[in-house]
Structures are given as C-alpha cells and as structure tokens.
A and B are shown apart, each in its own frame.
Chain A
Amino acid sequence: MISLEDKKRITRIGTVFALLFPISFVLMPYLWMTLSSFATEKELFSNHVIPYALTFDHYHQLFTRTNFARQFLNSSIVAVAATLMCLVASTFAGYSLSRFRHRWNFERVMLIMYTIPPVLMVIPILLIFTRLHLTNTYFGLALGHSTFMLPFAALIMAAYFNNIPPALDEAAMVDGASRVGALIKVVLPMALPGIAATGVIIFANSWNDYLYAFTLISSREMQTLPVGVAELAEGQTLQWGMLMAAAAMITAPMLVFFLFIQRKLLAGFIFAVTGEK
C-alpha cells in the first residue's frame, strides 16, 4: 500500500522529470552557444560534443577584427538614452494616469496601438526623421525606441503609483508642496523599485531592437549590436565560433539585468511583459 507521503513524493519526482523537457529545450541552445564560442576552430567542426580544446580566440577576434566594440558602445549609449527619456516622461504621464480621472480609456488606446505593425510605423518615422536630420544620431534612434516603449512604460508606472496612497501626496501638499514637488519628494522615492524594474525593461527592448536600428541608422560607425552582428552573419563562409562569441556577449548584459529583476517578472509583472513591440 502506497502511503500518502509516498504518493506526494512520486508526484514531485514526476513533475521535475516532466519539467526536464521544457528546461532542456530552453537551455540547450545557450549551452551550445557557450560551448561553441570557446571551442577551437578544429573542435567546432569535429564530432566531439564537448570540445577537448578551449580558446578565447573567438572573443579576441571579435574585438580586434570587427566593429563589435564600437557597436557595443553605440547600443549602450542608445539604450541608456532611451531609458532615461522614457523614465522621465513616463513618470509624469503615469502619475497623471494614476491620480486624475480621464475621459478616455487609455488601456484601450494601448491595445489599439499594439495592433499597429511596427513596419507600418517605421516608414513614416524614417521620413519624418530624415526631414528633421535625426537619422544616424544617437538621439534619433533613442527617440525612435521611445515611440514604442513610452506608452507602455506610462502604463506600468501608473500601476506602481496606484499602489501608493494618494493621501500621501495630499499631506505633502497641505504642508505647502506643489503637485510636482509632492511627486518628486514623496511619491518617487516610494516608487523607486518599480521605476528601476521599468527601466530595465525599457533598456532591454532598446538593446534588442533590430527594425528601428536597421532602418534609422545607415552609417557604419553608428550601427548598433543587433544590426552589426546580423551583418557579420551574411555571406557564404561564416565564422561560427566568432558569431557565437558575439551572441554570448550580447546576452551577457541581459543576464545581469534578468537576475536583478526576475523576481518582479515572476511575481506577475504582466504589464512589463506586455511591453514587447
């Protein structure tokens, strides 16, 4: 006779066993990327699953023979600029969404905006930016990224502000602070963890973007990582070791950020995950 305790244990083992399928599906590609990026050229095309000889050559080549370092810098500058721009604007917008009644339903406007294909938006944006001389500039690309990140950033910020009692800002205003003063001195410090998480999501989306960077940037020196690395992957004979090293290098900052915010992601951070374009 199987006891209740045993039954529970069997379910638990069964669950973990079943989870191995999705886990290996998700992990295998990373594992293979990492292994390939350190494998010597000979090992890469040999039949060894685990390479016998490891090397840093691919990383070395990536930084010395390609524009990777410059592209890394470009991507970082654009992502930081986009994050700052979106955070400042979305703080005010989110605060107004959270504290004042609105005649129209902003959530519904958001859903409508989600359905517009990014390809459709990038065409007029290119034409407008060309006229304003914003193409091939950091500011222009950061602004381009803001066009798809801002509305959603405002929505998450509103969700965070909703958790902070309005009585707090009213108390500050009774003490003589202005609306903006109350927001900056009282509400913002309390919303800081939420703002940080929002910032990470904006940064990740800017860092990952290909379409806008590909369209709005034409000069080689201004290229961002996804576009530059995609160019390395063109042609007949590809240096797979170096490409895997590039993939690993692009992933690394995201991994750091992920460890930083994943608790929030997993705690039902629905607004944040719907920020994808």
Chain B
Amino acid sequence: MMLIPLVLMVVGISAYPFIYALVLSFTDRDLFSTSSNLVWLANFKTLIEDPEFWQSMKNTFTYTFWCTLVTTIAGLGTAMLLVKKFKGNYYFRAVLTFPYLVPTIVAVLIFQWMLNDVFGIVNRAAVGIGLLDQGVGWFDTKRAMFSCILVSVWRFFPFAIMLFVPALEGIPEEFYEAAKVDGAGPIQRFFHVTLPQVKEVLFVVIILRGIWMFNMFDVIWLLTGGGPVGKTQSLPILAYLQAFQEYDVGLGSATAVLGLVVLVVFIGLYLRVEKK
C-alpha cells in the first residue's frame, strides 16, 4: 500500500513524459497544433544531414570535457587542502561550498558584468597591471566557450569538493605513515594512497558531472544564448530553439533523444573501462 505513491510518482512524473517525448520525436508535431503525423525517422534523417547538428554535438563535447576535467581536478585539489588541520578550516569549507546554492542567473549576471568588454573589472585590471594591451571581448567568437566553461567551473566545482572531502577524511592516517616509511614522496603518496582510496568517489564525480554538463541548458542559454554565431550552441540549446522558437516540437525532441543516445553509449563505455 505504501508503495503506491512511489510507483505513481515514477510513472506519472517521469516515465509518462519521457515516453511521450520519445513518441514526439517520430512525429511532425508543431507547438501550436494538436494534430500530428507519424513521420518515423524523418526527423533523425534531417538532423544527421544537418551540419548545425554536428557542430552542436562537437560544442557539447568540448564543453562537457573541459568542465568535467577542471571541476574534478580543482575539486580534488581544494579538498586535499581542506582536510588538513588548521584554524579556520570550517569557515574555508563553508565559503568554498556556497556557490553551489547560488542560482545560475546570479552567477551569469556577475560574470557578465566582471567580463564586460569596456567596463568589466577583469579587462580593466588586466590592462592596469599590463597583462593585456587593451580589453578583450570575453564573449566573442574566440572566447565565448572559455567564458561558459569558466562560469560553469565556478558554479559547480564546490560539488566536487563536497564529495571529495568526506572521502579523503575516510583515509586512515596509517596508510600515509606506512607509505612514508617505505620512502614514498608526496607525489607517490598521492598516486599510490590517495587516488586508489578515493577511486569510487572520483568515479561518481566524473559520471554525474559529465551527465549534467552534457545536458546543461541554463548556464549557456543565459550567458551567451548559444552565440555568437553558434560557437557555444550545445545540443540542449539546439533542441530548445527547434522546439520553442521554430515551433518544431518533433525535431527538437529528436535532437534531445539523439543526444541522450550518445550520452548513454558514452556512459556504457565508461562503465566498461572502469570495471577493468
């Protein structure tokens, strides 16, 4: 009897919309009409022949790869410093985890202002201390992707810290002592003691961050809207534009479904490599 809410919940709010979305991707459904025809694989055929789709796919991979890599390394590095005992440790932890609760729109606004080409503090400071001859456009075709990754790292590396800190605290001190007795230096201790001990958490961080960055919508949408000239347009952005600006719900669903298929294949490969 107690199971009923659980089953209803999963079916009602997840399974039903998901299956509905799958069905939509095989139709030519328009946002404002209620009738639609089955067109089977026509949407997918359109996408595979569309260079914009492949460009978005490539952007998604660039964004996901760098965000996941930097978030994980920065998170692990910072967490390793945080588990050392020193005064004020608690406050350092608090400050470092806060961006995780801050709305994306706030992160985006602050960085848009700081990276503003004329009045932004970053350009003015860089020119002031002689790092740059003149201010650069942080959202131009060359640097927009970098800026998207920067904001995402700021917003999401606390997630990695939160997962790594308890894992690192669980490593018994004796392991490090034993390694020291055996003459292992700091780098060897990291690779032979720390890394194997946090392997499982590392795996969780990479897979969850990878999934979320791959599906990320709001950071990119709010920061650049996918521009300039599609340089930061990822698959979720493309799907959204197709469904809600071109009103082609069928095509938008197909884009998102294809993205999901690619993601699932990658997770499968990753799980297999991980097992070995």
Contact = CB atoms under 8 A, between A and B. Distances in A.
A257 interface: yes
Contacts of A233: 109, 112
B249 A123 contact: yes
Contact of A96 (B2, B18, B249, B259): B2
B182 to A, nearest CB: 20
A128 B124 CA distance: 49
Contacts of A247: 105-106, 109-110
A257 B103 contact: no
Nearest to B162: A273
Interface string A242-277: 011011001100110110001001111110011011
Contacts of A12: 84-86
B203 interface: no
- Taking residues whose C-beta sits less than 8 angstroms from the other chain, chain B's interface range is 35 or more
Contacts of A28: 114
B206 interface: no
Interface string B224-248: 0000000000011001100110000
Contacts of B193: none
Interface residues of A, number: 85
Contact of A120 (B21, B78, B100, B108): B21
Given A119-B217, A226-B103, A258 B5 contact: no
Contacts of A225: 103, 105
A123 B18 contact: no
A29 B114 contact: yes
Contact of B81 (A18, A36, A44, A207): A18
B92 interface: yes
B105 A210 contact: yes
B14 to A, nearest CB: 6
A269 B124 contact: no
A51 B264 CA distance: 51
A113 B74 CA distance: 27
Interface string A26-47: 1111101100100000001101
Contacts of B10: 109, 151
A187 interface: no
Given A120-B253, A215-B244, A208 B239 contact: no
Contacts of A30: 110
Contact of B95 (A26, A113, A276): A26
What's the dominant secondary structure at chain A's contact region?
helix
A204 B252 CA distance: 29
A127 B264 CA distance: 26
B211 interface: yes
Interface in A123-137: 123-125, 127-128
A258 B101 contact: yes
B94 A115 contact: no
B6 interface: yes
A64 interface: no
B222 interface: yes
Interface of A: 11-12, 15-16, 18-19, 22-23, 25-30, 32-33, 36, 44-45, 47, 49, 89, 92-93, 95-97, 99-100, 102, 106, 109, 113-121, 123-125, 127-128, 146-147, 150-151, 154, 179, 204, 207-208, 210-211, 215, 225-226, 229-230, 233, 240, 243-244, 246-247, 250-251, 254-255, 257-258, 262, 265-270, 273-274, 276-277
Given A226-B104, A250-B105, 14 more contacts: A19-B82, A22-B74, A22-B78, A26-B154, A32-B114, A89-B9, A92-B6, A95-B2, A115-B215, A120-B21, A127-B249, A215-B244, A247-B110, A270-B163
State the 10 A-B residue pairs at the shortest beta-carbon distance, nearest first. Answer: A268-B166, A96-B2, A120-B256, A124-B20, A117-B215, A208-B103, A124-B17, A147-B13, A93-B6, A226-B105
25 contacts: A15-B86, A22-B77, A22-B78, A23-B96, A29-B110, A29-B111, A33-B113, A92-B6, A96-B2, A116-B215, A117-B215, A117-B217, A117-B239, A118-B236, A120-B256, A120-B260, A123-B256, A124-B16, A124-B18, A124-B20, A128-B20, A243-B109, A244-B110, A257-B101, A262-B94
